[in-house]
Amino acid sequence: MTDGSSSTLELVYRPDAEQVISRQREWFDMNNGRKYLVSIIPGPWNVFNWDLSIGVKTRRALKKYNFNREEDLIDYLDFRMEQITEHWERKLSWSLDDDMLPVFEPRLGWAEGPATCIDADVVYYGQTSNLKSVIESYDTFDWHRIHFNPESEAAQVLQRMNKYSLEQGKGRFLIQPRGETVNPSDLAKACRGDVLFTDFVDYPDEVKRLLELCLQSVIDLIKWVRIPVGQTCGGTVSAWLGGHWTPDRILGHVGDNVSDLISADTYVEFIQPITKALAGHFGGMIFGRDITSRQVWGSLPKVGNVTAFQPRPMGSVDVTTADIIEIVKKTDRIPLFLMANNFNTFKEYANTVKEQGGLKVFFVVHCASRDEGQRVLDIVRSME
């Protein structure tokens, strides 16, 4: 159901999608009593956050596709749709009344979104992609190259991706448009390359100018890709962590890989103002960062408009209950998304959350069986 429409949102995989969204609306309302939600991920399944292709054998490597050819683009998008269809067929068979929405985000690698904001070559690898850095010298660089260009070849590919996904997903999946998760600092790093990390010291003024240009480019990109999708029940949807809804124009997922490798002081001076501006423009964001990036936790309340925070497991480094307690303290009790890779970890998280009292948490739990999923669901519902 889009704004201004009285039609019912009908989805094969979640006939009760409007009821699910209603529960999520209550969770996002800080004045509402609902504190806990849960998405059940049927296992075995990949860590279901940013890239469905990780660990999944693709038809062929990305570098062997030509995504300017309609046949190649459709072939790869069909592959991705098959992946999420397989997942949701299994979820449907489990028939659990959890809080997960069927959301699909078309994705080629990484660089197809940022490529709309800078005149740069996309380099494809096996399962992901990057941009070839374009700033060799700040003195000679043409700063006008950094802007969102809806007429660019990359933007046309993005438009075809999102349009095809809307057509193919109709009646089954809500669509998060590709391009909506691009963030300014990662775009800046792509423009400059790894040397950006020394530029924070050597060229601070130029880095700030670069980040400002990237911020405006990302805002323009997100607004553009959202147009054909519109709103769903007065909000937007995100495929991040499986599928959820956010109210109004709030961004459903903002990452920030640059922050992993800089100090807290550098973050506060350079990245925090840009993230604050991005969140402020859209009225809020769900911010996700690897658990190893603890130096940014204390800055999140100062960013403002951080609607929720998701500390993500990073490789062999899991989110511990001690981490949760520290995050609650440093972030002034910002609502959390907590992903548990198994039932025992979920129980530890749930006990810690209950001890914190009044904290809003959206659990995302990988379960080995339907019975285990039902147990998780029963525990979360009983926590209210």
Strand 244-247 to 235-238 pairing: antiparallel
Banded model confidence at residue 125, pLDDT cuts 50, 70, 90: confident
pLDDT of residue 126: 83
pLDDT of residue 60: 86
DSSP result, 33-69: S--EEEEEEESS----SS-TTTTS--SS-GGG--TTS
Burial status of residue 137 (CB atoms within 10 A of its CB: 0-12, 13-18, 19 or more): exposed
* Inside any domain, residue 9: no
* Inside any domain, residue 5: no
pLDDT of residue 193: 97
Question: What is d(CA 50, CA 326) in angstroms, rounded to the nearest whole number?
Answer: 25
Question: What is d(CA 109, CA 100) in angstroms, rounded to the nearest whole number?
Answer: 24
Residue 195: which CATH number? 3.20.20.210
Banded model confidence at residue 127, pLDDT cuts 50, 70, 90: confident
pLDDT of residue 313: 84
Question: 62-66, 194-198, 263-267: which range is least confident on average?
Answer: 62-66
Residue 218 identity = V
Q: What is the pTM of this model?
A: 0.95
Residue 215 identity = L
Banded model confidence at residue 337, pLDDT cuts 50, 70, 90: very high
Domain total in the chain:
1
Cα 285 to chain centroid, rounded: 10
* Inside any domain, residue 7: no
pLDDT of residue 55: 55
Banded model confidence at residue 7, pLDDT cuts 50, 70, 90: low
Q: Are 15 and 92 in contact (CB under 8 A)?
A: no
**Tell me: the pLDDT tens digits for 292-302?**
999 999 999 99
Residue 376 main-chain phi, psi, to 5 deg: -60, -45
Question: What is d(CA 242, CA 50) in angstroms, rounded to the nearest whole number?
Answer: 9
Nearest to 120 by CA among 158, 152, 160: 152
* Inside any domain, residue 4: no
- Provide the token pair at 143: 């700063």
* Inside any domain, residue 11: no
* Inside any domain, residue 137: yes
Q: Are 166 and 175 in contact (CB under 8 A)?
A: yes
pLDDT of residue 53: 47
Instruction: Give how far Cα 125 sits from Cα of 111, 200, 231, 331, 360, Å.
Output: 11, 28, 34, 37, 39
Banded model confidence at residue 236, pLDDT cuts 50, 70, 90: very high
- Provide the token pair at 82: 């098959």
Q: What residues make up the domain containing 129? A: 17-383
**Tell me: the pLDDT tens digits for 167-210?**
999 999 999 999 999 999 999 999 999 999 999 999 999 999 99
* Inside any domain, residue 36: yes
Residue 329: other Cβ atoms inside 10 A: 12
pLDDT of residue 139: 97
Provide the Cα torsion 177, 97, 42, 359; round to 10°. 80
pLDDT of residue 45: 64
The residue among 53 and 273 whose pLDDT is bigger is 273
The whole-number average pLDDT for the span 282-304 is 95
Mean pLDDT, rounded, of the chain = 92
Question: What is d(CA 154, CA 254) in angstroms, rounded to the nearest whole number?
Answer: 21
* Inside any domain, residue 375: yes
